[in-house]
Amino acid sequence: MATELKSRTNNGRRTATVLVVDDHPIVRQGLRMLIASEEDLDVCGEAGSVDDAIRSYHDLKPDLVVADISLSDGSGVELVKELTACDPSAKILVASMHDETLFAERVLRAGAKGYINKDEATERLVHAIRQVLEGRVYLSDRMTERILCRAVGGEHETRQAPVEALSDRELEVFEQIGRGVTTRQIADKLHLSPKTVETYRENIKTKLNLKNATELTRHAVQWVLENT
């Protein structure tokens, strides 16, 4: 459930407000403490799910959203799409442990203004927050170089892994399979029908050249272990 926090002012000046979205309470607490320690930043609320995040965004109208990829009821990528659909000016920074080479461009296409890995030093996160608040895009130097190489035709530098061929929804289902979630549970979590989930499963097997459900599960579990 979302938690609303009281904003503060700095010598009468309004601080930039941040909504923290992460399904781990300890992570939210750490982000809140980090952000609140900055004189020009303040956390106005927290949420652990897509639904709570959307409600909190409309209620609190934060200047910035810092969101994870994996949430209790869905994907941060879908959250970005929903928020930017209703507010194209929304400023969203995705902070996650997931591999940036797989997710950074996805969240930017969805409408986010930046991606940072949680392994980065805390000062880099604060820098990323301020950069997005200023209306700029934040990516790591490595990711920026990767995108530039692709733009100028450096295909040898940006060769895609097979999993990158999956759509956002397919990747979301793939991750859930790797976490041992059943088709019915995936359907309930992502608000889809079991038949739709089965269609995604078949698409994933085709794109990854997997012969059967056993290979799909084994591949998905391995991917989760290596990337999350």
Q: What is the pLDDT of residues 49-106, one digit of tens each?
A: 999 999 999 999 999 999 999 898 889 999 999 999 999 999 999 999 888 888 998 9
Angle, CA of 193, 199 and 201, to the nearest 5°: 105
User: What is the pLDDT, as a whole number, of residue 15?
Assistant: 87
pTM: 0.80
- For tokens 């080479």, the residue is 101
On the 0-12 / 13-18 / 19+ scale of CB atoms within 10 A, 195 is exposed
Q: What is the DSSP letter of 39?
A: T
Cβ contact 134:107 at 8 Å? no
Summarize the confidence of residues 16-43 as an average pLDDT. 95
> What's the pLDDT at 10?
53
- Residue 183, pLDDT above cutoff 50: yes
Picking from 153, 26, 41, the residue whose alpha carbon sits closest to that of residue 93 is: 41
Can you give the pLDDT at residue 64? 97
The pLDDT of 161-177, averaged and rounded, is 90
Banded model confidence at residue 7, pLDDT cuts 50, 70, 90? very low
Domains identified in the chain and CATH numbers? 3-148 (3.40.50.2300), 162-227 (1.10.10.10)
Copy the structure tokens of residue 205.
């097997």
Region 1-29: mean pLDDT is 75
Residue 134: what pLDDT?
A: 95
Sequence-ordered list of residues with C-beta below 8 angstroms from that of 109, at least 6 positions apart, any chain = none
Q: What confidence category does residue 147 fall into, taking pLDDT thresholds of 50, 70 and 90?
A: confident
In this structure, of 15-24, 70-79, 121-130, 155-164, the range with the lowest mean pLDDT score is: 155-164
Question: What is the share, in percent, of the chain residues with pLDDT greater than 70?
Answer: 90
**Is residue 6 over pLDDT 50?**
no
Query: Apex CA 95: angle with CA 67 and CA 18, to 5°?
Result: 50
What pLDDT sits at residue 100?
85
